[in-house]
Structure 1
Amino acid sequence: MTTTVREAVLDLLRAFNMTTIFGNPGSTELPLFLDFPDDFRYVLGLQESVVVGMADGYAQATHNAAFVNLHSAAGVGHAMGNIFTAHKNRTPMVITAGQQARSILPFDPFLFSGQATELPKPYVKWSIEPARAEDVPLAIARAYYIAMQQPRGPVLVSIPADDWTRRCEPVAARRVSTETRPEPQLLALIGDALDAAKRPAFVVGAAVDRDRAWDDVVRLAERHNAAVWVAPMSGRCGFPEDHRLFAGFLPAMREKIVALLAGHDLVFALGAAAFTYHVEGAGPHLPAGAELVQLIEDPAIAAWAPEGTSAVGGIRLGVQDLLARPVPPALADREDPQPRALPARAEPGASGELMSVAFVMQTLAEVRDAHSIVVEEAPSSRPVMQAHLPILHSETFYTMCSGGLGHGMPAAVGVALAKPGKKVIGLLGDGSSMYSIQALWSAAQLKLPITFIILKNRRYAALQEFAPTFGFKPGETLQGTDLPELDFLALARGQGCDAVNVVDADQLADVLREALNSPRPILVEVDVA
């Protein structure tokens, strides 16, 4: 029995529970959508980077690969920023890209992709343009299994337009392992080091929450009475920030990391690189007298760790194995780590002055449900957010691990699609928002009750604050970093999204409460100092 390539692929997607398709179609993709089935949902993004950003949020929130459909070379090119972010986020994603019909490929036809499999590299785990139309379903199946295997990530399949109607044999979905267990001998060494340490510190990364290991990591930290830090540039939160063991956030600077970890004799990098740096540094990677151990699902990250013992495997399975070890009696005598110094309460400021970001974050923390989900892309405000907007529960915080802008706003749409019973808050800088502002249209069309909060400081603040690192003097003009006259209310309303501006600190709490209760997407533009 044979079927069409199109029907074989749709049956596979049903078996993989991938019946939501994110896309922005072009001519070479149209044959996939002939007689579009009722049990599938097509989510349209107005630009391909928005499409991938929505799929990223959706995949992270569902813990399953998202299916993305892009248009040939131009569409993949537009999407590359967020493909890069999906790669850094370790987000499973099956990306299909249209290709011109096979019969005209020898003539360099209009809108074809000359090197379709090379274009997205190195930011996909695997890419292929099948040799025959009949091989497309097998390629889709293989792509799904590869995307879902740890470390997860995006893959790409280039599909000529005339392949969809060809006859082929159906392909049955298989059960393929997606998780790995760390080597027992190496894990035993890590367990022994934890048991012997006097003052251990955990550094938790995005893989903790990504691998649903939050609760197990809390239990392991409590067993060892370890201070817990969040790794530099982590795209997820892996530990409750109101816990007595929570120590704070490590910056992406070698010398500062060493200073903050001083006094610890063991550093356990858990689901995190050791360490992610953003600026040039010098000296040791660890404080004097400290040993490094690591548990990470990505062998490439383990390979470049500067020292110590690295076990490669799933975080949840590895932590469960560590918890299965007998508890040494000596652990009961271990001293409590020094409690974290909490920030002072932010004040609204004098009458007529713009609000501080700290006051906005503090107010949001007071009025939001702690189980609501924050999707953040406000790089210059992140340290302030970390001080005044604590994340308390698993899977309630998402940002990009890449540093590439344009992910946050569409990712909020994807997370809201995946978790319809949850309130999603998109917390964004004004500069960041403009990279993917078209996501507001998708939110409005899908009637998602997302609250987008734009921190409007009228500049690329992160660049201006980073400038002294490269020799700029205080007050010196930095070209290309001012953003005057952006009107986010007009931009939102023009795409069908409600919008409101707030300048007065006395009105902020009431405006946020009303926005968080809105059944429709709403944008809150907050003028900040």
Structure 2
Amino acid sequence: MTERTVLECALEFFRDTGMTTVFGNPGSTELRMFRDWPGDFTYVLGLQESVAVAMAAGHAIGTRRAALVSLHSAGGVGHALGAVFNAHRDRVPLVVVAGQQSRALLQLRPFLGADEPARFPRPYVKFSRQPERAADVPAVLAEAHRIAMAPPRGPVFVSVPEDDWDRPAHPVAPRAVHASYTADPQALRGLAARLDACAHPALVVGPGVDDEHALDEARALAERLRAAVWISPLSGRSGFPESHPLFQGFLPPVADQLAARLEPYDVVVALGAPLFTYHVHTESPPLRPGTELFHLDCDPAQAAWLPTGTSIVTTLKPALTRLTSLVAGSGRTPPPPRTPRPPAAPGALTPELLFDLLQERLPRDRVLVEEAPSHRDTLHARVRVDADGGFLTTGSGALGWGLPLAVGRALADRRRLVCVVGDGSALYSVQALWTAARHRAPVTYVLVDNGGYGAVRALGRRIGIAPVPGTDIGGIDFAALAASFGCPSAYVDDAGTLARALDRALAAEDDEGPFLLHVRVTGGDGALYAGHDAGIPWAG
């Protein structure tokens, strides 16, 4: 095999795997990676490292391929770790390549050198390594990519000393790894028999359904069973059409409320869902007596830590297809559809009014990205997402994800999407608007401004802490800020002009690039996880 440089071998591998769009923020220890940068590669600059990772994640979700991220050594990797944590929790395949100082300097603890770089991003990457020799870099990159794409997918990390790129190496021949974990046939037959015998089944759809592109299979199983369908707590993805009559709503991340929602069902099947995702503690068992849990997911670690139920480790598409063929057609009465929320009261510009208008105007096939924790319950109650892959948010809760995630997702297929982002969340990664404008990413941002960290204020009230210091934000002109980044924008604070302003924001053509609508709302802190009396979607 012909000897070439590490850089030549790496670029060839990146082409072979479709990773020719590189998201990054360059530094001195990455410069040799960019020598004679090829014309068929696109470098997407993020003005902070976590922004670059989140944009790459959006691109990976949109293309369903791993995305390539280039980070600076040590400090740059540190800046990015919040977004890497999100990618890990949301099972997004990223190949993160970080610069490192020259090998000859490492013993001297050089400026900008990374000590023990492979340990730095742990435990939120599937694979982390600095190759022992420069000649090993192409093979390590190839191994990392295969691990990133194997279920459960996720980010991987490779640290490359800056002088390695010019050293000799051999190309890595492309090869495919098709990973599909097949459920034990006897376990599926047992589950099918239990579903046939039960009176009130329910499915809990988690982010794994969307990640494995198994929405159609989940819907077919639900319809055959006439089962109630819920979305798992704080899911970062869609996975079931919310206008479907079997859809019941969103489960709460609170133990006693979750157990109460699932109490009417004798058999619950969680699909690609970490069902017991809690945000606040209550004294309650995971499930009430009489509710039996089965759990299907491709992650054996998740199956191991669940506190109750029977887990079947499998990829979902083949398992759901087989399970649907095994269960008998049901004559049971389907659950009643969830009750629509009453229209927002006229007069004030509330989140309820905003989302009612968005529901009326949002095309059913348009992707919706959300990072507005104060308003998530209201949005879920009033905006129904039906499209496969039609909803994205953070599955970890680390802020700053949504605004740049929308950029990368829009660049994946150049189709306009809508990103609903809170004022507090936007300030973590607002510089992504610069990238959106430079690359003409077709994103309509609806920035919901309630003057602070409303979700934290609401949680504080719930546990008897009010006021909460450090939760008020004010005086920021987001429309002017967006315009300074090159993103067209508008501001609205009047209910009477909101519809017209929203029409303008949503009417932008795909080739017009981003647009930001700054909406100043009244109220909107919500009653976080307060339960049925609050009229929020956790109650169904």
For Structure 1 versus Structure 2, the TM-score category normalised by the shorter chain is over 0.9
From 418, 430, 438, give the equivalent of 1:425: 418
SS at the partner of 2:43? strand
- Residue of structure 2 in register with 1:291 after alignment: 292
Whether the 8 Å CA contact 2:229–2:248 is kept in 1: the answer is: yes
* Structure 2 residue 446 is matched with structure 1 residue 448: no
Whether the 8 Å CA contact 1:190–1:309 is kept in 2: the answer is: no
* Structure 2 residue 477 is matched with structure 1 residue 477: no
Q: Which moved more, 1:316-325 or 1:439-448?
A: 316-325
From 510, 516, 520, give the equivalent of 2:513: 520
- Residue of structure 2 in register with 1:72 after alignment: 73
- Residue of structure 2 in register with 1:489 after alignment: 479
* Structure 2 residue 365 is matched with structure 1 residue 386: no
Distance in 2 separating the partners of 1:131 and 1:257: 49
- Residue of structure 2 in register with 1:365 after alignment: 359
User: How far did residue 486 of structure 1 move?
Assistant: 1.2
User: How far did residue 80 of structure 1 move?
Assistant: 0.6
SS at the partner of 1:413? helix
SS at the partner of 2:406? helix
Whether the 8 Å CA contact 2:366–2:387 is kept in 1: the answer is: no
Map Cα deviations across residues 478-502 of structure 1 (whole Å, 9 max, x no partner): 1000001111012101111111001
- Residue of structure 2 in register with 1:436 after alignment: 429
Gaps of 5+ in 2: 523-540
SS at the partner of 1:72? coil
**Paired AA for residue 178 in structure 2:** S
Whether the 8 Å CA contact 1:356–1:528 is kept in 2: the answer is: yes
Identity among equivalent pairs (%): 46
- Residue of structure 2 in register with 1:332 after alignment: 330
User: How far did residue 471 of structure 1 move?
Assistant: 2.5
**Paired AA for residue 491 in structure 1:** L
- Residue of structure 2 in register with 1:136 after alignment: 137
- Residue of structure 2 in register with 1:15 after alignment: 16
Map Cα deviations across residues 204-245 of structure 1 (whole Å, 9 max, x no partner): 101101110001100100000000000001001111111110
Map Cα deviations across residues 385-429 of structure 1 (whole Å, 9 max, x no partner): 001111011111100100000000000000000021x22111100
Q: How does 1:167-316 map onto structure 2 within 5 Å?
A: 167-316=168-317
Whether the 8 Å CA contact 1:274–1:306 is kept in 2: the answer is: no
SS at the partner of 2:418? strand
SS at the partner of 1:525? strand
- Residue of structure 1 in register with 2:83 after alignment: 82
- Residue of structure 2 in register with 1:320 after alignment: 321
Distance in 2 separating the partners of 1:282 and 1:113: 44
- Residue of structure 1 in register with 2:344 after alignment: 346
**Paired AA for residue 381 in structure 2:** A
* Structure 2 residue 167 is matched with structure 1 residue 166: yes
Whether the 8 Å CA contact 2:148–2:155 is kept in 1: the answer is: yes
User: How far did residue 318 of structure 1 move?
Assistant: 1.3
- Residue of structure 2 in register with 1:416 after alignment: 410
Distance in 2 separating the partners of 1:187 and 1:369: 38
* Structure 2 residue 168 is matched with structure 1 residue 148: no
Distance in 2 separating the partners of 1:288 and 1:311: 22
Distance in 1 separating the partners of 2:165 and 2:399: 35
Whether the 8 Å CA contact 1:76–1:97 is kept in 2: the answer is: yes
**Paired AA for residue 368 in structure 1:** L
SS at the partner of 1:182? coil
Whether the 8 Å CA contact 1:186–1:309 is kept in 2: the answer is: no
* Structure 2 residue 392 is matched with structure 1 residue 398: yes
Distance in 2 separating the partners of 1:495 and 1:291: 53
Tell me: CA distance 1:163–1:3, structure 2 relative to 1, closer, same or farther (3 Å).
Answer: same
SS at the partner of 1:117? helix
User: How far did residue 287 of structure 1 move?
Assistant: 2.7
Distance in 2 separating the partners of 1:285 and 1:107: 52
User: How far did residue 177 of structure 1 move?
Assistant: 2.3
Distance in 2 separating the partners of 1:239 and 1:517: 27
Whether the 8 Å CA contact 1:348–1:356 is kept in 2: the answer is: no
Distance in 1 separating the partners of 2:401 and 2:183: 32
From 360, 371, 375, give the equivalent of 1:377: 371
Whether the 8 Å CA contact 2:439–2:513 is kept in 1: the answer is: no
Structure 1: which 4+ aligned runs deviate by more than 3 Å? none
Whether the 8 Å CA contact 2:62–2:412 is kept in 1: the answer is: yes
Distance in 2 separating the partners of 1:456 and 1:498: 18
**Paired AA for residue 499 in structure 1:** S
Whether the 8 Å CA contact 1:145–1:178 is kept in 2: the answer is: no
Alignment length, in residue pairs? 518
Q: Which moved more, 1:331-340 or 1:381-390?
A: 331-340
User: How far did residue 370 of structure 1 move?
Assistant: 1.4
Distance in 2 separating the partners of 1:84 and 1:314: 23
SS at the partner of 1:524? strand
User: How far did residue 296 of structure 1 move?
Assistant: 1.0
- Residue of structure 2 in register with 1:28 after alignment: 29
- Residue of structure 1 in register with 2:536 after alignment: none
Whether the 8 Å CA contact 1:70–1:96 is kept in 2: the answer is: yes
